[in-house]
Chains A and B, each alone.
Chain A
C-alpha cells in the first residue's frame, strides 16, 4: 500500500494533447475522484496509471517505486471497467478467480479468497452463474469483486456507476466507499457526475482540457471554487462582476450589479480591482425583514418546485439572481411579480481568481 504520485505527465494522440503537464498526489487510504466533462483526459489518466496508455512524458510512482515503464500486467493496480468487461464464457467465480491464478495463488487459498470477495459484494450465492444471467447492478459488483480480490495497491474505477439506474447508483456509492474504507484501499475514480464525486470523494480534482483546474476536498471545491468553470461544473451558481471598494481585515466591500455586498470569504481580495464573483443559490435565501448588510430587494421572475426546496429567480436592477428556499408555506406562496427580500451570507460570496474563465 502506498500513495500514488504523478509528476508532469503528458499524453498526445496525434496533434491532440490529452494530458498537459499534469501532476497529482493521492494519499494512501484515500478515495480520490477525477471529475471533468467528457474529453477532458480523465479516462486517459486512469488508463495511463493502469499502464494501457503509457504517458509520453512524466513519471508515475507508487510509494518510492517508479512505475512509469512497468507493463500493465505487472502493475499492482486493478481496474473496474465502465462496461465491467466481465468475461462472458466464465462463471462469476471464474471471473473473480482469474487474477489469483495469474498470481499463482494456491487452489485452496484461491477458493477462500473468491468466496470472501463475493461475500463482500453480497453475491456469494451467485458464484456459479454466467455474467449474462446477472442484472446490471450484480455485474457491477462482480467487476468490483474481481478487482478487490487481488488486493490491489490502487483500485481504479472508470465511471463505475454510469450504467446503473438512479436508485442502484445511490446504493453502490455507499457500498463502494464502505468496501474501500474497510479494506484500507486506495481508490481513484473517474466520473463526469458531480453528485457522485461530491458524495463519495475524500478529495477530488476537477479537470479541463488535460489539466487539473482545482483539487481539494469536495466542500472546498464546492464552496470555494477558484474559477468560474469549476464553480459552474460543480453546480448552479450566480456569476457576476464585482469591484473591490475596500478591504478591511477579513472583510471585503464590493460593488456589484446587485448593489453593495460584503464578503468575508475572500482571502485573495488584493488581486485586482474588478473580479468575478460566484454566489451559490443556496446562499441566497428569502428573509422577512432587512438585515444590515447584503439584503437585496427584487422581483420574482421565475420559480421551480424541486421537492425538498424551491429555486427562484429574482430580478435585481435588471440582473437575475438565482436563489433557493426551503419548501415552507412562505416559499409555496411565492408569486411571479412579487417583491421579496433576499439575504446573502457574506461567507458565501466567493471572489474568483482573475484571468480564469
Chain B
C-alpha cells in the first residue's frame, strides 16, 4: 500500500521538471551553436559564455537563497528551512562545478592561461570550498538541531561572499570581464546574442528549481522517517 510520505509528490513533480529542463537545455545548445552568430574577436570560444554565465547565476542564486533561508532558520527554527538550505547547497555546487570548469576552458584561448589568482576567480573558488565544507559538516554531525544550527551559520557566511563576488570586478583590479547583462544599465550585447543568453538564464533557473524540488522532496522524506524512528 502506498503511504502518504511528505515529499513524494514534490519528488515526482521535480523529476518531470528535470526532464523538461534538460530538453530545454538541449534547445539552448542548438540555439547557441546553430542560431547565434560567432563573435569576431573571441571566435567560437565566446559561445562558452551561454553556459558559463547562466551557471554562475544559478550558483549565486542557490548560495544567496541558502544564506537568506539560514537567517530565517535561526529565527524561526523550522526544520523545513534547514532542509531547503541543504538541498540548495548541493544543487549550487553542481552549478559551481559547471562555472569553475567552463571558466578555465574559456580562459585558456582568450587569456592564454587556464587559471589566474584573480579576485573574482579566487573568491568563487573559496565560496565553492565553503559549501563543500557545509555538506561535510552536515555529514559529520548526527544531532539534527546542532547540524541545522551550525549549517545555518556557514550558510550565512557564504551569503556574505555572494555580493563581493558579483562586485569584485568593480572593487579590485581584475582580468575577469565586467557584467554585460546583470548590470544597472542596459545589456551591452547584440539583440540576437542577448536573446540566447536570456533564454539560457531561464533554463538554468528552471534546472535549479527542478533539481532543488527533487532534492528537497527526498530530504523531507528522510527527515520524516528519522522522526518516526526516533519516536518508536
Q: Do A and B bind each other?
A: no
Instruction: Name B's A-contacting residues (CB within 8 A).
Output: none
